[in-house]
Structure 1
Amino acid sequence: MLALIRYSVPGSQSGQFVDQAKAILGTFAAQEGFLRGHIGRSVDEPALWALVSEWEGAGYYRRALSAARMDMYPLMTLMINEPSAFEIVAGSQE
Structure 2
Amino acid sequence: MGGGPPGPRTPLGWSLPCLAIDPPRFPACAAGARAPARWTSVHPAPARWTSVHPAPARWTSVHPVFDSNTSAPGLVVISRFTVPTDQATQFALDARTAIAVLAERPGFVDAVLGQSTDDESLRVITTRWEGIGAYRRALSSYEVKVAAIPFLSLAIDEPSAFEIVHTRTPEGTSEGMSGLAADAGSIGLGFASGPDIASVTS
Give me the TM-score of the superposition, normalised by structure 2. 0.43
Determine whether 1:4 maps to 2:81: no
Which residue of structure 1 lines up, in the alignment, with residue 150 of structure 2? 73
Amino acid at match of 1:37: A
1:86 alignment counterpart: 162
Structure 1 spans left out of the alignment, 5+ residues: none
Give the Cα separation in 1 of the matches to 2:161 and 2:97: 20
User: Greater helix percent: which structure?
Assistant: 1
Q: Distance in 1 between matches of 2:107 and 2:151?
A: 25
Aligned Cα RMSD in Å?
A: 1.4
Task: Give the superposition deviation at 1:49.
Answer: 0.8
- Deviation above 4 Å: which 4+ runs of structure 1? none
Give the Cα separation in 2 of the matches to 1:12 and 1:42.
Answer: 17
Match of 1:37 in 2: 111
What is the Cα deviation at residue 75 of structure 1?
A: 5.5
* 1:52 and 2:134 are equivalent in the alignment: no
Q: Structure 2, unaligned stretches of length 5 or more?
A: 1-74, 171-202
Counterpart amino acid of residue 138 in structure 2:
A
Aligned to 1:16, which of 90, 97, 111? Answer: 90
Give the total of aligned pairs.
93
Q: Distance in 2 between matches of 1:75 and 1:28?
A: 11
- Which structure carries more strand by proportion? 1
Provide the identity percentage.
Answer: 38
